[in-house]
Amino acid sequence: MSKKPYIKAADRTPKQSIINDEPLSPLQWIVCLFVIIMPLLFCKWNDQSPFEMIKAYFSTAAITTVAAIYLITNIFKNQVVIRYNKWVWGLLIYICAYLLSFAFAGHYYSSLWGVLNLPAGSVMTVSTFVVMSFIAVQIFSHEHSLRKLAACFVICTFIMSLYGILQHFGGDPIKWWVYSAMEWRALSTMGQSVGYGTVVGCVLPLCFAFFITSQKRKSTIWWMFAFAVMNLGILYSGSRLPILGFFATMIIFLGFLAIFKHKLPQISWKRIGVAYVIIILANVAYFAEPGYNSLKQKLEPQEIKSGYATRFIVWGTAIEMWKKNPWLGVGPENFGEEFNHVQSIEQNYGESWNLIWHKAHNEFIHYLATTGLIGISAYFWLIILMFVPVFSILFRKEWNTDYIFAVALLGGFGFLLVTHLTAFSFIPTLMFFYLFPAMNFSFADIEKTKTVENNLPKAGRWAATAVVAMLAGFVLYKVNNVWQADINYNDSRRQLVSYGNFDKASELLETAIAQNPGNAEYWCFRADIYYNFLVRSVRETGMQAETKKRKLFDEVVRSSDTCVQMDGRKSDLWRARGTLFMSLSQMVPQMMEGSLAAFKKAVEVYPNNPYNHMSVAAVYRRKGRNDLAIAELKEAIRVRRDIIPAWTELLSIYYQDKRYKDVQDLVNSIRALNIKTSEFAPQMPGIIKVARDNNDSQTAQAFEQMLK
């Protein structure tokens, strides 16, 4: 075992400091291109996963290929040089703890692949970037290659910032909007402005480092321009968290330089001053801009209060979730699966109350809930190790210029940790979390090497190559299948919803299920498709038609059974089953009991969702049990007081049962609510109509008065 000798900055020749004439290897170029391309990937046509899942699949496929090439290349070397450092050992401990949590996870499918648009915590994605980090340590071993890799981060972010600025001023030639309601934000390819802003904030310190260390005039002008564009880009994200985190990072960064400036005599304070003037001018240009300013609005105290109030509720719920699984958590990416089981009534009055919260909006609490004390301990240890390279060089008498990049990487990493206090990882920011420390140790030049003699005979090397190729091929095959299944599933939904093409929708869905049979959502949709086929066949007569109907009916039930067996912890799937069975009861009355059982299961899984109780009430009313329906509707109102649809159904039952005293009590109860500020206020015409249909103009007028 040998340790690379440390050379003082004063003793280094220019070639030792920056090896400008050493070209990148093909494998290094591939990784550099990956760093540029992956954050820019976007597939608008894929409704279910327009930005994150496509990056997850691409990342896994790309890094699997890189890993296979790296291993096969070393198989044919007589001596293999292995580089390692404290970060590598920390990664091993961390990934073992992560996989241990996965082994005891409540739901393996989401843990392995991720859910919806947020797969950053899945085993697939985390393993991908852990492998990438290991490979980066091996193949980026000198300052020149490391600078090229760092420059690739800046180039990608510069492109994103240009697009963000273009969006801000109304230009969008590619039409890459994800959510129409958020078109006033610069979304770029991150899907959400906070993701875009976080990417820019992580990379800005690197751009700063390039600017203040550049030796050539043309390079200096380029880095200065890139720094200015990226500063505007992060402001035009319109997201307060990345901007506040960036300001904190840059202040710390400047303080760090001020303290240790004597160790970097070749860096000019003039450039540092210019960089901060650029920051100031960018802010002046942004905040002095006339017209609507999303960031100024979001920085208002009331906006901040409302924006973070819900997060405190979610964090409390996440802590309760952790208490039920203290050591290993609920499993990676299973936060959304388990959140609703412990969700409080208070959550029903927060932001996005009726959506599934797949993340805790605090990465540290999220890790605690999903991987338990063992996982969070390994995670914190990994974070602590990031600071080792910088603190190890602080006390060296003299510094190499490249040490400033170690500080810049630490600044970007620290910025990421700041954003993680109220946000969560995206696929690109997850790459920063793993790759920045790997680069940092190399920049700080504190790695060790071990040379291993490769004594495999020629036949053994070819056999090892075949094994690596087969394993890589298997991973690529599985990832491609899940990827294509996702595409086919979304195309299937589009064919049914947008075009009403049942046959094409069924064909695409069957292909998706064949490619990836473990996704419960696919089977739920399959039940809907076969129900539509069944409805279309109702008017057909004859023995053959009856046989066909029987088969279609069986397929509906079988698909629904498969769905809930795969993912019985998701109330949405139970409610979908209940709605489906209620529709089937028009043909087969006995299915009403199945509908009731499904809705009750939805209540069991997610007891504080008022819609689940309203669904149970609907079945009871169909069965003529108004007393039980009233009890369920009152429970729905208990968990969400201003839910007008429940009040409307309750009023209808009171009229039906001629309970006029209860009608008056109901009016008084709604009057006690500040219904005008409720999100349910637009549904008041429905309850007014019920009153008028029952010739109760006085009650109708009372409801109308509440809206004035």
Domains detected in the chain: 2-40+78-455 (no CATH), 519-640 (1.25.40.10)
CA-based diameter of the chain, in Å?
Answer: 97
Residue linked to tokens 């409720």: 678
Strand order in the sheet with 79-84: 2-3, 448-453, 79-84
Give 331-351 pLDDT, tens digit per residue. Answer: 999 998 899 899 889 989 877
Residue 46 pLDDT greater than 50, yes or no: no
What integer pLDDT is reported at residue 279 of this predicted model? 86
* Percent over 90 (pLDDT), the chain: 60
- H/E segment holding residue 391: helix 388-393
Beta strands in 396-555 (DSSP E): 448-453
- 3-state secondary structure (DSSP) of residue 211: helix
Q: Determine the average pLDDT of the residues in 67-82.
A: 95
Q: Which of 16-20, 190-194, 581-585, 633-637 has the lowest mean pLDDT?
A: 16-20
Q: Which of 187, 191, 139, 164 is nearest to 34 (CA)?
A: 139
Q: Which of 241, 239, 230 is nearest to 207 (CA)?
A: 230
Q: How far apart are CA 567 and CA 548, in angstroms?
A: 29
What integer pLDDT is reported at residue 461 of this predicted model? 96
What residues does 118 pair with on adjacent strands? 115
Give 492-524 pLDDT, tens digit per residue. Answer: 988 998 889 999 999 999 999 999 999 999 999
Phi, psi angle pair for 550, to nearest 5°: -60, -45
Residue 180 pLDDT greater than 60, yes or no: no
User: DSSP class of residue 118?
Assistant: B
Give 126-160 pLDDT, tens digit per residue. Answer: 999 999 999 999 999 777 899 999 999 999 999 98
* Percent over 70 (pLDDT), the chain: 90
User: DSSP class of residue 4?
Assistant: P
Q: Which residues have C-beta within 8 Å of that of residue 561, sequence separation ≥ 6?
A: none
Residue 685 pLDDT greater than 70, yes or no: yes
Q: How far apart are CA 704 and CA 699, in angstroms?
A: 9
Helices (H) and strands (E) in the chain, counts: 30, 3
CA atoms within 13 A of residue 385's CA, in its CB half-sphere: 24
Residue 83 pLDDT greater than 50, yes or no: yes
Distances (CA, A) of 463 to 64, 453, 457: 19, 18, 10
Asked if 552 and 534 count as a contact pair (C-beta separation under 8 A), the reply is yes
Q: Which residues have C-beta within 8 Å of that of residue 139, sequence separation ≥ 6?
A: 25, 27, 28, 31, 70, 145
- 3-state secondary structure (DSSP) of residue 185: coil
Asked if 612 and 640 count as a contact pair (C-beta separation under 8 A), the reply is no
Type of residue found at 200: V
Q: Determine the average pLDDT of the residues in 434-442.
A: 93
User: Sign of torsion, CA 143 148 151 157?
Assistant: negative
**Taking the mean position of all CA atoms in its chain, how far away is CA 283?**
29
- 3-state secondary structure (DSSP) of residue 84: strand
186 backbone φψ class: left, alpha, beta (φ>0; ψ -120 to 50):
beta
Average pLDDT, the chain: 87
Distances (CA, A) of 598 to 564, 585, 649: 10, 13, 20
Residue 17 pLDDT greater than 60, yes or no: no
Give 299-335 pLDDT, tens digit per residue. Answer: 666 666 666 778 888 999 999 999 999 999 999 999 9
- 3-state secondary structure (DSSP) of residue 148: helix
What integer pLDDT is reported at residue 292 of this predicted model? 65
Q: Which of 183, 297, 165 is nearest to 235 (CA)?
A: 165
Give 91-111 pLDDT, tens digit per residue. Answer: 999 999 999 999 988 788 889
